[in-house]
Structure 1
């Protein structure tokens, strides 16, 4: 970094002084095309008059993205951005990855679409390849178009198989915002005031940072909380206590000695990259199965090597679920999702007709197959492990400089940075201050997400092709953003 040219940046005051030296952005390797489409102003008019007002738009002055390449994005003016949010954890191997794009073009020239009531090669080739990536008896694949569709189907499948209506999820969880899933999602910011969640119950969120229990040895992460911890090697008292809360829900809120299913993310995404204490999920699965329930892992954000050590997030917890749902990174941004389960559970869906017009579409399956090939050939999972660990440790070092950083957590390239006003009291940083940091980073070419119930967690979940040079650039910009806020 020291050898790179440094960019002097004005402080923004009228005095004309300089406040920082930020390294130049790492090279992108391509020259973007000149944009000639609809103007920014016209697009904003269309958005206001013809698109739903419920659409969330990032930044005070929204960006209009017109081109992407690997970890890079460009706007209408040709300004380049390092995308550290990956289209909301969706671009896994890189924007417009050439191998994936080539496979899509080849399939488009041959066959765009035919429904899966007919045989076509790609669905069968891809289903076999995808199933080979899962452990145990997870061998039957249902293709859908989105994570919400996949989770909807998993709920239906669980109820059909067990004959029990009641399902448990965790507070702070996000599993989708469809009417069916709004009850499964336990974040008030995502729930409308309508009847929802029939038969769905939430247990206490096992959060070692904000929850009542947890300490410095509880997370499977290079970065632990600053809370003290009395746990010895190989044990986690917090995991036991949160499991006891789940046991309470099973005892009091379920039909006697029965449970339909338990739903959990491996790391909570929208909830602010919240990680569970060690062994919690294993205890939870055992409890649910003792009541005849099935265990469902939502791998929409944590799958496909993003956590580095394993291909699936649940493997980090030492468990094998009965149903796995996946989306986002599965298609590198192409609308594709899936539910994978055992033959026995899958058979429950044969009691009536079930069909998805676009599920298993030839084009989608060709793209999904190419993504699996790229992950293997280009060692994408290995990069998520090494670059992600480096990223987390560099962010962790910044906690010694800035009290504003209350917690750094995550694994691989699924990272959360919780911003606080008072570290000891873990008081959330006010939204206005969070936005100042967020806008500063955008102005200097870095796009990150936000999450958590207070909106104070920076979500860093980039395309898994980013480099250590990208991390160094990000750290430099983030440091200046925090310095600017302090001033």
Structure 2
């Protein structure tokens, strides 16, 4: 886009209002028009630089417009842009072969699709076909997609917009409660799971869960939790679907977040970081379960040459730059800094949680409305200071830090300094004036 084509933030906002559905929102009161990106930075229409600590919700893990990746994307565009899976092409089989080397356990069969929602939908279909059962178990406050079935297993009310969702879904309490210890919260969730399995385990196809709930507020369960979940599910022949849409490909310090728990799921779903901004997603499983998806099928865009070539470049870059190890190291630095800020603002930063470079800081200012308003004010000022961060959580009051994994210690230091200044200013303005 050249300068003559840049219409400016007000014109973009006006066109969105005129042509988009009302559901399409944006974070800021004064939102910039982003026109260019380079690794961990993006630039607005006025040339202002922002350090991106959200990465398009965990998407551009390898950085915006990373030349090591985009050059291979462009090359493939110039060779062969599109076929469907009914033709033989090399990039998608090379990608499937490469994924086998990084997927946990015996997971080696891959079906390529376009988005995380479609990957989860396909995984749930596979579970039904393999088990011959219809029902699902899901965690409260999870997010799995915008299709009817994935929305049905989504436990966040703001994302359950369809009034006619699948009724064969049972929700159990998630392994988190600020009033309980992590062990107590995990045990309560496991008791819920035991009860559901005892009552109707023979009707349940699978349990679907995010290893770390992203939109639910960066919830990392106790590390024994999913081992206990898998043991219980196996007793009833219920499959475990790991939704690694946000957590996959190095973000949490391991290639896949389930590795933290020492668990190999029956089916794993992936998207976001796999394409670094190019739409590509997949669900993978072992040979035995894969045999159940055997009637003729195809995916028009899934695994197309451009997305597959891009994903191969992504995996090469992750390996060459050791991004999981980098996320673990830099994530520890960011967590340490956030905990220091929590000690400085103990009544405002209620909790710091997550893993690797998938961290959340929960803010408190009073009731739910005040908490959300404070979070929005922090996002607005951090944007003005040149840092883009996200928000999530049940009450939309958790600052979300999910940057490109190519950020530096200097970036983290600048972010923490800006966040310190932002909180100090906001709290000083909110404090009652001293009597004269």
TM range (shorter): over 0.9
Q: Note if contact 2:220-2:355 (Cα within 8 Å) is conserved in structure 1.
A: no
Identify the residue that residue 322 of structure 1 maps to in structure 2. Answer: 266
Structure 1 partner of 2:48: 79
RMSD: 1.6
Please, which runs of 5 or more residues in structure 1 have no aligned partner?
A: 1-32, 219-235
Among residues 249, 260, 267, which one is paired with 2:196 in the alignment?
A: 249
Shift of 1:356: 1.1
1:274 alignment partner, one of 172, 194, 219: 219
> Who is 2:413 aligned against?
472
Secondary structure, counterpart of 2:351 in structure 1: strand
Does 2:328 correspond to 1:385?
yes
Match 1:298 to one of 225, 240, 243: 243
Length, aligned pairs only:
426
Report 1:324-403 matches (<5 A): 324-350=268-294, 352-402=295-345, 403=347
> After superposition, what is the alpha-carbon deviation per residue over 1:218-270, rounded to whole angstroms, capped at 9, x for unaligned?
4xxxxxxxxxxxxxxxxx45433321121122223x25x45310111110011
1:83-482 equivalences under 5 Å are 83-207=52-176, 209-210=177-178, 212-214=179-181, 218=182, 236-252=183-199, 254=200, 257-308=202-253, 310-350=254-294, 352-402=295-345, 403-421=347-365, 429-482=370-423
C-alpha separation between the residues in 2 aligned to 1:337 and 1:184?
19
Q: Secondary structure at the match of 1:421?
A: coil
Deviations 1:76-96 (A, max 9, x none): 111110110001111111000
Give yes or no for contact 1:259–1:288 (8 Å, CA) kept in 2. no
Distance 1:149 1:428, change over 3 A: same
Q: CA deviation at 1:44?
A: 2.4
Task: Say whether the 8 Å CA contact 2:223–2:260 is kept in structure 1.
Answer: no
- Cα separation, 2, equivalents of 1:377 and 1:277: 31
**TM-score w.r.t. length of structure 1:** 0.85
Q: Is the 8 A contact 2:114 2:279 kept in 1?
A: yes
TM-score w.r.t. length of structure 2: 0.95
Task: From the superposition, tell whether residues 147 and 246 of structure 1 become closer, same or farther in structure 2 (CA, over 3 Å).
Answer: same
Unaligned stretches of 5+ residues in structure 2: 429-436
Partner SS, residue 324 of structure 2: helix
CA contact (8 A) 1:429 1:456 kept: no
- Between the aligned partners of 1:404 and 1:414, the Cα distance in structure 2 is 20
Describe the SS at the equivalent of 1:57: coil
Conserved? CA contact 2:134–2:203, under 8 Å: no
What's the offset of the Cα at 1:199? Answer: 0.8
Q: 1:12-91 residue pairs with structure 2 within 5 A?
A: 35-40=3-8, 41-91=10-60
